[in-house]
Structure 1
Amino acid sequence: MRAEALADNKETKQEPDGSEVFEKIYENYQDLNRKMVNELNLSSIHGGLTGHCREEMWLNFFRGIIPQKFSLAQGVIIIDAYGNASREVDIAVYDEQYTPYVFRYNMLKFIPIEAVAVVIECKSVDPGNKQLTEWAKSIDALRTCRAGIARMATGYFAGLNNPTQTGTRPIKILACLKEVVRDGTWEACWQELQQSFDFIIAKKKDKDKYFELVVANKQKNLGWWGQQLNGISSASNDLQGLALERDIPESDPDSYKGLIFAADSSTLVKNTLADLEIEGNPILSLNLQLNQLLMLINNPMLFPHFAYAQQFNDIANLIKEKRQKQPHCEAEQNA
């Protein structure tokens, strides 16, 4: 009898409806949003915990939505082969599989710009625009070098003859706990910083339980984003969209559900980040938008070992010159 009852239950048990599954995912992202705000509000009760907790929380969040091919690290300095260094980056998302550390000792990490895909600045108070814009400028000042060489399937290539990626710049994100509206609307408060950050995650003053999302240039198409992230000249036709390599199979329209094509070309995709917005769910929107941008980046960018070696040799020569001059300076002082 027991076996028959189990069999009957198995037969009558209903599989979850597809729409129900998506509804649960949608609601879970809303719950995640609320839990993140509550966690940071709780840590802010004790000022000494806020900085550590906010970075750990954001680190766990981004680790949960970014593909495992990327590594995440806290408190890093980004450098380039021309001797430039950024300000400290709270969280960096970078390629560790093919790009070596130039220097790492315990918690100290100096990561080459060629490896970095995302930089995240975490703040728990109204940060002040000047400080944040200066931080963003220190990232923008870094330059990638195209002197890398690697073997591909069809031969050896250097970054110099790679037309799809002449440079790289990280996606910049500001994650802010407390929001103070100065003048005008909440969106107007972040207008200036949208020139420095691609994504801003912050709370609305009238919606203290949830994070909201500001996406700079969300109306720009993916062709524009591809140029920005890969250093391609704006003279390209991709400003009008993202050109696909092969024709779209017209016999199966459902296979390109959600894509928006130019009226004059079936292979020119004109989707924007705004097309990835999920109404009423900014954290789920961020998941889709950020990961779409990550898929536009050629990873890894060929690492320019020779350029970094030259930079370190230049520094070695400067150190040698300083040491040679030092005895003369000491002799003059003693005289």
Structure 2
Amino acid sequence: MDKETKQKEERIKAEKNTVRAIIDNYKGLAGSLAQQLTLKTPNHHVTTGSHREEVWKSLFVQMVPRKFHIEQGVFIIDSEGHISDEVDLAIFDENYTPYIFKFGKIKFIPIEAVAVAVQCKSSNINGAEDWAKSIKRLLPAFDSVTRVLPGLNHNNLESAKMLLEKEKKQQSQTATRPILILCSLVEKGNPADPHKAGTIQHGNAKDFDIILNVDENNQLSQVIPNENWDYREWYKELNHYDLKRYKECDDYEKVAMGGSSLGKTLKELEIDKEGENVILSLTFQLNQLLMLINNPMFFPHQSYVNMFREHLINTDRVGKEQTGAKSGGTK
């Protein structure tokens, strides 16, 4: 064997060893994560809960692109004035979308900005489904003005209908929703495991897109209830979510872009058949979902301004009516 061939073989061997080391490192990371999550603070549940949120947050910090920001303990709001239950971890765009309110630890983030919402639970997962529903009820507003290459673009339903009539072009986004993740510590295994009786799948596992769990053996597992969905189904779910909620649902459904199946699923992104390398698989699966959304919706400034104005008008009117009632009843 000549020197060049020997060097080439040694390089190939070194590269294979490096790839194997990366795989093993992810397995070790899962074990370390599980140990940190099961560490208990004596007689102080608030500290323990906050610690666990930080641990889960560290996982997502390693995983999602830097274009996204991760905050703990936020509320999500829409331009109708609907507010979600508290969100343990929100992954959202902070570059172009303003906070609706931020002071100290109190943060309100518009629904149009949020890409992922995470609920962190311990062994008691009661209320998780209601939490998910409190987010899914929020209505993104399809009404933004932004600069695009040809100039200014007013992205709203009327302009979308005109574009469809004139150029036969549909909208790639009309109503986004966050990817919903449940992180839990259920001792008997993942609460969405289809092979377990009496678990969340008998309620509404479909309310969550990904369920991560650490069991009593410190094993991290993952269930994606809709892992066999075609990417086209995910695209529609995350970019044109439940358009029947809107008053103009027929118009929304007309302008929403459809398309044929791609023949690709998240199941195909599992690293191994046994599901032993959860974090490495999740890195690709979650980021694939983020790429199907790609960017949060352009922020609809006018819709939020209208909401605050309407609130001011209503509260001023109620205040005047109450003042008038009091003065009318005084002698």
TM-score interval (norm. to shorter): 0.7 to 0.9
Q: How many residues align?
A: 292
Question: Please, which of 97, 107, 125 is the counterpart of residue 127 of structure 1?
Answer: 125
CA positional deviation for 1:329: 3.8
CA positional deviation for 1:190: 3.5
CA positional deviation for 1:187: 7.6
Name the stretch that deviates more: 280-289 or 226-235: 226-235
Aligned equivalent of 2:264: 271
Task: After TM superposition, list the pairs within 5 Å mapping 1:1-335 onto structure 2.
Answer: 17-43=14-40, 46-48=43-45, 49-128=47-126, 131-160=127-156, 161=160, 163-180=171-188, 185-186=195-196, 189-191=199-201, 192-204=203-215, 208-231=217-240, 233=253, 238=259, 240-241=260-261, 269-279=262-272, 280-331=276-327
CA positional deviation for 1:125: 1.9
CA positional deviation for 1:18: 2.1
Q: Secondary structure at the match of 2:95?
A: coil
Give deviations 1:183-219, integer Å, cap 9, x for gaps. 99438724134211000001345xx122100001100
| CA distance in structure 1 between the aligned counterparts of 2:236 and 2:325, rounded to whole angstroms | 51
Q: Secondary structure at the match of 2:109?
A: strand
CA contact (8 A) 1:151 1:157 kept: yes
CA contact (8 A) 1:166 1:231 kept: yes
Residues 158, 180 of structure 1: alpha-carbon distance in 2 compared, 3 angstrom cutoff:
farther
Taking structure 1 as the reference length, what is the TM-score of the superposition? 0.80
Q: Secondary structure at the match of 1:42?
A: coil
Residue ranges of structure 2 left out of the alignment (5+ in a row): 1-6, 161-169, 242-252
| CA distance in structure 2 between the aligned counterparts of 1:37 and 1:90, rounded to whole angstroms | 18
Residues 274, 103 of structure 1: alpha-carbon distance in 2 compared, 3 angstrom cutoff:
same
CA contact (8 A) 1:37 1:177 kept: no
Paired amino acid for 2:314? L
Name the stretch that deviates more: 110-119 or 24-33: 24-33
Residues 91, 187 of structure 1: alpha-carbon distance in 2 compared, 3 angstrom cutoff:
farther
Name the stretch that deviates more: 189-198 or 56-65: 189-198
CA RMSD of aligned residues (A): 2.5
Residue ranges of structure 1 left out of the alignment (5+ in a row): 1-10, 242-268
Give deviations 1:69-111, integer Å, cap 9, x for gaps. 0001111110001111101000000001011111111111100
Q: Secondary structure at the match of 1:43?
A: coil
CA contact (8 A) 1:126 1:180 kept: no
| CA distance in structure 2 between the aligned counterparts of 1:36 and 1:64, rounded to whole angstroms | 12
Paired amino acid for 1:194? A
| CA distance in structure 2 between the aligned counterparts of 1:91 and 1:297, rounded to whole angstroms | 18
CA positional deviation for 1:157: 1.8
CA contact (8 A) 1:222 1:270 kept: yes
CA contact (8 A) 2:23 2:280 kept: yes
CA contact (8 A) 2:185 2:215 kept: no
CA contact (8 A) 2:206 2:226 kept: no
Paired amino acid for 1:107? K
| CA distance in structure 2 between the aligned counterparts of 1:22 and 1:46, rounded to whole angstroms | 43
Residues 278, 327 of structure 1: alpha-carbon distance in 2 compared, 3 angstrom cutoff:
same
Q: Percent identity?
A: 36
Paired amino acid for 1:172? L
CA contact (8 A) 1:165 1:298 kept: no
Taking structure 2 as the reference length, what is the TM-score of the superposition? 0.81
Aligned equivalent of 1:259: none
